[in-house]
Structure 1
Amino acid sequence: VVSCGQDGSVEIVARLRGWTRGLCAIGNLAIVGTSRIIPRFRAYAPGLEPDRCVCGLHAVDIKSGRVVA
């Protein structure tokens, strides 16, 4: 999850284990859907470890980067 400043700067707020499937911002929360990486598609997900990826919904506080749910 990244935060984009009004000056064009980009800051990594949180890293999640999985392929991003969806994102919705609600106030200071980013709701992010992730899925596992199928090993044969590993080339399309550089930097992710297929064995550590998880499916799920994550609520991330974009101010602190903390995963709250």
Structure 2
Amino acid sequence: MEQAWRESGLGAALDIDELQRTVTGLEQQNVELAEALQEPQADLKAAREANRDLTRALNQRGQAGASS
């Protein structure tokens, strides 16, 4: 079979088991990276919420001081 592949000019026969291992490894890496990304995204969301709250509080305090 490999000789047929070589003679056809298509290259070496694919090692399906090796490809499947590679795919499985890449899928696992993808899951791990997605999980690792969740914590920084949650931190960023919390920081944005805190920033909005602080900006709102400063604006309200500024408006109260301007009306006095």
TM normalised by structure 2 equals 0.18
More strand by share: 1
Structure with higher RCO (Cα < 8 A, 6+ apart): 1
Give TM-score, length-normalised by structure 1: 0.18
Pick the structure with greater CA Rg: 2
| Structure with greater helix percent | 2
